[in-house]
Amino acid sequence: MPFKQNVYEKAVYKEPAPIRDTEHPFQAMIDRFDIAAKILELDPGFYEYLVSPSRIHITSIPVVMDDGRIKMFEGYRVIHNEILGPSKGGIRFSPDVNVNEVKALAAWMTWKCAIVNVPFGGAKGGVVCDPSSMSPGELERLTRRYTANLLDVFGPDKDIPAPDMNTNAQIMAWIIDTYCMNTRNTNTAMVTGKPIILGGSLGRVEATGRGVMSVTLSAMAKLGMSPQDSTVAVQGFGNVGSIAAKLLSGRGCKIVAVSDVHGGYYNENGFDVEDLIEYASNNNRSLAGYPEAQEISNHELLTLDVDVLVPAAKEDQITSANAPDVKARIIAEGANGPTTPAADRILDEKGVLVVPDILANAGGVTVSYFEWVQDRQGYFWSIERVNKRLDRMMKTAFNNVFVASEEYGVPLRTASYVLAIDKVASALKLRGIYA
């Protein structure tokens, strides 16, 4: 029988507290976890086990800078869970990365993998640095020392890193070389998102954006919406946002607004997304000054009268302050944590269909899994095979979440957490607690 109680009440494991917009990301994850745990009537011991990170590694990274001085950086690797398989998650380089953010991202990876039926647990890494101010040599030395400090953590059957914010295939190449030189063992499956020539997978760069496209089209089909008659606004024009915009445009959607760190850009007649991408690539990865657009603010983009909104930038973009003004029928979260817990309730009451981050942007880890499989087999797939399998897995995951949403009478986000937590808890019950 569908669960019809107020799903935003706090679970029994914690003291009641208001849902706020000012929580750090890990607390936002717990807020959603608590709702699903209450629906599942999760055993309190299992709750404590599943909500807590398995291990947190904090390491100091000395780097000899180009001017000869030694500079210290702080790095993190959080292993949230390994019940379903080796932990998996990206590494981000950012001046504002912190351990609470990395804990949240690691937990979200656990739930993502469970939702798309990938046999990985969740992990995430980060280094507090400003890569834009560092030379390639400094970045290489930073990456190699970070990897060397975590040699006992990484491994193809232990913990598998990947690119994330401000890291790329070159960073992954330095990681794999450092690992293999120290272990005296060439094992290309120890990292994903690496260059094709070093065992990377076709389709990996586009995977997250393609996954966003896939679940957006699935959501539109459920609401009886035609792509050819739908308008889309995309916040964030990095790898995820630009590719999602390009692919949705290719399916007939009209992309009327995009944004990057410099601001928002609107064209009621729709953008030529290929031209936007080319302009950004020739303009230091910026859309600033794009001639065929009206400049708008970030708030205006999020509240435009469009059919679909794709927040693919940063955390906490849709809050209780602007959620009442959101007009989109569908929100497909390309970024991690773009909607606060307080905004969830408002959007649900407005009837907005929110495809949550742990489902919408799981395309990246899905193709990372494909890469890991290909490396272990020593046999590599065509781009058509990669994309076909990705689309199938994303559509299956969306349909499973949608069915659970109707069964329990809850939003898609809560249904995603219910399915993911139930799967990991069931595996934990079978494995038992080692003592």
290 assigned to some structural domain: yes
Q: State residue 19's pLDDT score.
A: 43
Q: Are 331 and 244 within 8 A, CB to CB?
A: no
Domain end, chosen from 328, 360, 392, is at: 360
Please tell me the pTM assigned to this model: 0.92
Q: Catalytic pick from 124, 194, 246, 254?
A: 124
Q: What's the CA gap between 199 and 380, in Å, rounded?
A: 8
Structure tokens that stand for 240 in this block: 């995820």
- Residue 194: inside a domain: no
Pair (172, 214) in one structural domain:
no
Evaluate whether 62 touches 141 at the Cβ level (below 8 Å).
no
pLDDT in the model for residue 326:
97
Residues forming a β-bridge with 121: 87
Same domain, 158 and 213: no
Tokens 């890990």, residue located: 26
Residue 43 lies in a domain: no
Kindly state whether residues 214 and 296 are assigned to the same domain: yes
pLDDT tens-digit readout, 193-249: 999 999 999 999 999 999 999 999 999 999 999 999 999 999 999 999 999 999 999
Does one domain contain both 177 and 96?
Answer: yes
Report the C-alpha gap between 163 and 205 in whole angstroms: 10
What are the helix (H) ranges across 287-382? 298-302, 341-350, 357-360, 363-377
Write the CATH number for 212.
Answer: 3.40.50.720
Burial of 326 (0-12, 13-18, 19+ CB in 10 A): buried
- From 81, 111, 123, 122, select the one nearest 423 (Cα to Cα): 111
Domain that holds residue 147: 53-188
| Cβ contact 274:306 at 8 Å | no
Last residue of a domain, one of 188, 218, 237: 188
d(CA 300, CA 323): 12
The answer on 251 and 133 residing in a single domain is: no
Rounded CA-CA distance 73/9 in Å is 41
Element (H, E) at 225: none
If one counts every other C-beta atom within 10 angstroms of the C-beta of residue 320, the result is: 16
**Does residue 267 lie in a domain region?**
yes
21-22-25-29 Cα dihedral, nearest 10 degrees: -50
Which two tokens mark 418? 């219910």
Q: Is residue 378 included in any domain, yes or no?
A: no
Residues with pLDDT less than 50, the chain: 1-20, 22
Q: Are 149 and 237 in a shared domain?
A: no
Of 158, 188, 218, which residue sits at a domain end?
188
Instruction: Select from 121, 108, 161 the least CA-distant residue to 339.
Output: 108
Q: How many domains is the chain built from? A: 2
Q: Are residues 353 and 212 located together in one domain of the fold?
A: yes
pLDDT of res. 7 = 47
Residue type, 116: V
Same domain, 88 and 156: yes
Residues 326 and 259 in one domain: yes
**Is residue 128 located within the same domain as residue 249?**
no
- Which CATH number covers residue 81? 3.40.50.10860
Bridge partners of 70? Answer: 64
CA 358 from chain centre, in angstroms, equals 7
Residues 178 and 321 in one domain: no
Q: Is residue 302 part of a domain?
A: yes
Q: Which residue in the block uniquely carries the two structure tokens 């889309």?
A: 232
**Which amino acid appears at position 181 of this protein?**
M
Cβ atoms of 419 and 400 within 8 Å: the answer is yes
173 and 288 inside one domain: no
- pLDDT, tens only, 379-393: 999 999 999 999 999
Which one, of 293, 292, 232, lies nearest residue 264 by Cα?
A: 293
pLDDT attached to residue 13: 34
C-beta of residue 215 within 8 angstroms of C-beta of residue 394: yes
Q: Does residue 2 lie within any of the structural domains?
A: no
Q: Would residue 10 count as lying in a domain?
A: no
Whether 124 is catalytic: yes
